Amino acid sequence: MEDYTPTLSEEERAARRAQRAEARRQKQQARRRRQLQQLLPVCLVLVLLVGLLAAWAFQRQPEDSGTDDTVSPAPVNQMTEEPETETIAFQPRETESTIQLGDDFASEYAVVIDAEDGSILAEKNADAVISPASMTKILTLLVAAEHIENLDDTVTITIDITDYCYVNDCSVVGFALDEVVPVRELLYGTILPSGADAALALAKYVAGSQEAFVALMNEKLEELGLSDTAHFTNCVGLYDEAHACTVTDMALILKAAMENDLCREVLSAHTYETAPTTQHPDGQVLSNWFLRRIEDKDQELPVRAVAAKTGYVVQSGNCAASYAESADGHGFLCVTGNAYSAWRAIYDHVELYKLCS
């Protein structure tokens, strides 16, 4: 049997072509709709990002974005605030008049500074690093004074304090084991007789230990701008390679102490009498050796020695730091090191203060 294939007219073929074309068109439209639906979220995100970027750019524009040449007004705070003035720290400085001391001046290290303007009147190896010996106690006094709130508090002298002083052959006030001492007396005891027992008791009272107190001392040196050349390892002035400063550093430490009312009072005292205790029923009379022995020289000087602290270790010889004032209250700082005797240290200060006239 032969296969039968119907024959379509031209009109029927045209109609079928039209149907197939319409079907293809509908499929294309459906595919575009699906693509648009997939792209819509992406477009929304892009629009949002563009809006955020535009807002950020607008906020960064200056208030006046015009094209004219007018200057935008300064912010109100810039118009009303006073310009800041930089505080200039007291800084010793040489001048054309600075005297360079020679070998005929006994102390190996020396400096005398005008305490008002910082000009150096005379110097000798003033920037050499030395052991400050008991001049250290000026900083001990200053740090303690800045931390003490009640001068009537008491401290008990313990075995670790007396042993430390004995083992290291320190100068002492002479407080006895278990003696109860007011903080005020410890301040005077640290300076006038250069008592290591008083200094150690202060350190224990203020910071709990000498080590913790020395950390406070070095913080103070940094505050004073002296930490490049000054660093202390104990509060009494024992020799240590790492315990050192220059005579100029010590002059600035003394200046800071003299600006503290309590320190000035202690450093200026010629004598002080402690209260009676069980161990010392009559109390003790403390003396500032330097001030009492320079008194007979006051008439020779254009200034009056107001405050002082001496020191001695083998490595730095006899040294001293003092503060003097002229009749009108003009101050002078003087520090010397490595004199061959305690009396020579005093006489060197006398010679230096004569330069103030």
Find the catalytic residue in 107, 131, 134, 316: 134
From the candidates 107, 131, 194, 316, which is the catalytic residue?
Answer: 194
Distance in angstroms (rounded) separating the CA atoms of residues 79 and 83? 10
- What distance in Å separates the CA atoms of residue 138 and residue 149, rounded to the nearest whole number? 19
- 326 annotated active-site: no
Give me the catalytic one of 137, 204, 220, 309: 137
Single-letter amino acid, residue 195: G
What's the CA gap between 101 and 26, in Å, rounded? 110
137 is known as an active-site residue = yes
Under 8 Å between Cβ of 311 and 320? yes
> Is 134 annotated as catalytic?
yes
Q: Which residues participate in catalysis according to the annotation?
A: 134, 137, 194
